[in-house]
Structure 1
Amino acid sequence: REEIDARGLHVLPGAVDAHVHLNDPGRTSWEGIETGTRALAAGGTTSAIDMPLNSQPPVVDGAAFDAKRECVERLAAVDLALWGGLVPGHLDDMEELAARGVVGFKAFMSASGIDEFPRSDDLTLYEGMARAAALGLPVAVHAENETITAALAARARASGRHSVRDYLASRPAVAEIEAIGRAIALAQDTGCALHVVHVSTGRGVALVTEARDRGVDVTCETCPHYLVLTDEDSERLGAIAKCAPPLRRHDDIEALWRALARGELPIVATDHSPAPPELKRGEDAFEWWGGISGAQTLLALLLTEGYHGRGRPLESIASVISTNPARRFRLSGKGSVAVGADADLVLVDLDAECRLAAEELEYRHKHSPFVGRSLRGRVVRTLVRGGASRGRLLKPVPTDPEERP
């Protein structure tokens, strides 16, 4: 038994990051489970849900799930759950993945960038949602209209235009908004629970809110980079700030914060997706590998920008990064400080200030658009299940459907 002196600190539930990309097995030069989960723990996250596409093989069948599970059990510093893949040619594997314990299925409505994880056309998405509904599991979608984004990118490149501004223009807000509306229509028809990942626009959140109000089981998330960085930051920072959807205007930042305050945006997740530095070099913004490193700064950024900057209550911050994702994805014992819960705790000095330095990052590749940023609120200690020495694989458990966030 250990007694911890927490005088002067606040105790919060450990964060539950619903969206990370850890690349074991296979892509050993990329972010892995060992370094990625160390970064999560350093930032106050005690549980995370790993996306299926970046490992080799991607988690689209039972054998791939088993390979990923072995890596989790051997390497994880925090608890991890897994998304399965909803991709063409693997719909018949969804039942096996559900039996293995995935929290749900991830589909891309535009190209993922991974050849082994192709985008889902509308029929695949429709049929996959029907299967997910029968299995009682949600589908998470990357919502961008491929016809729009691919055509605009091809047109720019054919004209010799490849700047950051050209990349931003190739993925307009309407591409996200149209795809969200399409996904909602398919979910409503099939009865599938839908989760829209990394929403970057206020109008996207509004579509989700309207659908929820008419009874559709749909939630959405945004990411810290959409809450604090703009398209101007994308031009200033270059490749380390490339993401899809791209960073938006200041108006969208304000709209997302208003949605958080109203409870319309229930989850903030990092979409932690770093890549080796050599994939972020060159002059062609379309060629840079997209993805932002943010696993270690989720709580610190929300404390800085939300609690200190905008007066958001600590309870509200804990809801969007801990309680709500645990509830939505049925991770029992996670996301709360309560009798019988898992004792996933983070001790925080709310007033400690620092400027984030690259050498503090636990990532395999120590780059992030948040390096150099002033932060207020420091994680002093993270406890996984009261002080467990390693993470474990999490599986969803049945809950009351009325408990959705």
Structure 2
Amino acid sequence: METIADLVIHNGTVVSADTTYAASIAIKDGVIIAIGNAKTMPSAKETLDANGLHLLPGAIDDHVHFRDPGYPHKEDFASGTLAAAFGGVTTIFDMPNTLPTVDSGEVLAAKLEMAAQKAHVDFGLYAVLGATSIERVPELVDVGAIGFKLYMGNTFGRIPSPSTGEMLEGFEAVAPTGKRISLHAETNSIMERREGKLRAAGYSAALDHLAARPEVVAIEAVARAAILAEWTGARINILHISSAGELRPLREAKARGVDITGETCPHYLMLSSEDYARCSGVIRVNPPVREARNQEPLWAALLDGTIDVIATDHAPHSQEEKTRNDIWTVDAGFLGVEIQMPLMLTEIARGRASICDYVRWSAVNPAKIWGLYPRKGVLQVGADADIAIVDLKRNWTIKDTELHSTSKISPWDGRKVQGLPIHTIVRGRFVVKDRTLQAGTRGWGRSVHSIQNMPKPVPLNVDQTTAAVLQKTFHQASA
């Protein structure tokens, strides 16, 4: 019996991490079933002419804050995943600093259920790793955490930063599970002390936030996290790399064989301290946007593989929360999930890197890092049909008020870009078609934890973990 595809896309240019080529793609039951010459494609219920457009694997943004539950005036899972779909993002990982904090199986289960009802795109949910959740690591894994988030420095939500002792014990607990730990790598004690002195002296301008978080807070934190990961065998991911200084401990750890990966964001590549005068408190984010001298080293680190992933740290807030006069009271973060792809494609058009490089950073690498490859992150037979169909030549201007996030304020407003996702397909279904949301896609997204397949864990120094030492001491005392 002849196979009838649900959808065949003709005349597009397919992009991989290695090459681009003209081909048609056939999709059935949410999966790619054929790629090749148009004449070899099966008949289809629906066809799409993608002439002049490029077919990219849907981006995987493994670092967003959709504020749900707890802060619906900033964002919720429906508006956040809607914005993602319009940005060519087909899978997101949401952070645990919501209300309540995701630190137990019960809270995670409730959030998974909520997300499944609202999501337009696929998703993974982080659980927090800290003093309150170390003993709950097994239940959080069982319920469906995609990974763990550890806050070495304070940020929105004021989740307590664990001590180094608590970090080590947390790494010991997660290492045997094979899950990856993403780190907000800033040393809290330095920042708290510096900020306290600045505030006491009456400093409260936008640039004072940068002064409170010097580059060394990130350099020290990355080095310390790498040492603990090396000792325990835990897999770690350094989030939002903002400075050139962090690259040395990251490179050195990779050279030593530590399972460590790194991420940066468009605002660290394209904005600098020179933008503070233009944006004031709107630009406040943790870690801060730094001096322009950091940009070229970060681009070079992406190109040489030191940094693995482009993500957004999408962290929306209301107009009032971003425009307060005292920088210390301005909420940190701003929107990004919808405009990451156009921002990066603009740099690709300028020759900064190739479209293949971009696919590697935005799709292939995150899929591999999080155990989703080859189901996600690639356009090949057998993969989920997660596709961003993009017009690389479309010139337009970012306007915050026209974006789909609940938040309508960012430092990107008015920026001219080149490149726009025209259609976004999630597991074979159009969520956005011709820049229009399709009916019935709310609730189409599903958690990807069920398809996650991480490599076998290799925990180290297991005879010297906190649990092992306590057990040994117990037996000695009993004897």
TM-score under structure 1 length normalisation: 0.96
Larger radius of gyration: 2
Aligned pairs, how many?
Answer: 399
Q: 2:349 aligns with which of 299, 308, 311?
A: 308
Is the contact between residue 91 and residue 121 of structure 2 (CA under 8 Å) also seen in structure 1?
A: yes
Q: CA deviation at 1:205?
A: 2.1
Q: Distance in 1 between matches of 2:70 and 2:325?
A: 28
Q: In the alignment, what sits opposite 2:325? A: 283
SS of match in other structure, 2:329:
coil
Aligned residue runs from structure 1 range 182-261, under 5 A: 182-261=224-303
Q: Distance in 1 between matches of 2:331 and 2:277?
A: 15
Is the contact between residue 370 and residue 454 of structure 2 (CA under 8 Å) also seen in structure 1?
A: no
Could you list the per-position Cα deviations for residues 11-45 of structure 1 after superposition, in whole angstroms to 9, with x for gaps in the alignment? 00000001000122222222110100000000100
Q: Distance in 1 between matches of 2:317 and 2:454?
A: 36
Q: 2:69 aligns with which of 13, 17, 25?
A: 25
Q: In the alignment, what sits opposite 1:393? A: 447
> What is the letter of the counterpart of residue 228 of structure 2?
L
Q: In the alignment, what sits opposite 2:369? A: 328
Q: CA deviation at 1:304?
A: 0.4
Q: Percent identity?
A: 36
Q: In the alignment, what sits opposite 1:37? A: 81
Q: Which has the higher strand share?
A: 2
Alpha carbons of 1:42 and 1:124: their partners in 2 closer, same or farther (altered >3 Å)? same
Q: CA deviation at 1:146?
A: 1.2
Q: Distance in 2 between matches of 1:107 and 1:283?
A: 30
Q: CA deviation at 1:312?
A: 1.2
Q: 1:12 aligns with which of 56, 76, 97?
A: 56
TM-score under structure 2 length normalisation: 0.81
Q: Distance in 2 between matches of 1:385 and 1:96?
A: 29
Q: Distance in 2 between matches of 1:378 and 1:93?
A: 42
Is the contact between residue 112 and residue 119 of structure 1 (CA under 8 Å) also seen in structure 2?
A: no
> What is the letter of the counterpart of residue 354 of structure 1?
W
Would you say 1:77 and 2:132 are equivalent positions? Answer: no
Q: CA deviation at 1:157?
A: 0.7
Alpha carbons of 1:278 and 1:339: their partners in 2 closer, same or farther (altered >3 Å)? same
Q: Distance in 2 between matches of 1:198 and 1:149?
A: 17
Is the contact between residue 82 and residue 120 of structure 2 (CA under 8 Å) also seen in structure 1?
A: yes
Aligned residue runs from structure 1 range 60-75, under 5 A: 60-75=103-118
Q: In the alignment, what sits opposite 1:272? A: 314
Is the contact between residue 371 and residue 455 of structure 2 (CA under 8 Å) also seen in structure 1?
A: no
> What is the letter of the counterpart of residue 265 of structure 2?
C
Q: CA deviation at 1:240?
A: 1.8
Q: In the alignment, what sits opposite 1:97? A: 140
> What is the letter of the counterpart of residue 398 of structure 1?
N
Would you say 1:46 and 2:100 are equivalent positions? Answer: no
In the alignment, structure 2 segments of 5+ residues that lack a partner are 1-44, 431-440, 458-479
Could you list the per-position Cα deviations for residues 126-174 of structure 1 after superposition, in whole angstroms to 9, with x for gaps in the alignment? 1000111011111111111112111111111101111112111110001
Q: Distance in 2 between matches of 1:282 and 1:25?
A: 24
In the alignment, structure 1 segments of 5+ residues that lack a partner are none
Is the contact between residue 112 and residue 118 of structure 1 (CA under 8 Å) also seen in structure 2?
A: no
Q: Distance in 2 between matches of 1:397 and 1:237?
A: 40
> What is the letter of the counterpart of residue 200 of structure 1?
S
Q: Runs of 4 or more off by more than 6 Å in structure 1?
A: none
Q: CA deviation at 1:355?
A: 0.9
Q: Distance in 2 between matches of 1:399 and 1:290?
A: 32
Q: Distance in 1 between matches of 2:389 and 2:59?
A: 12
SS of match in other structure, 1:41:
helix
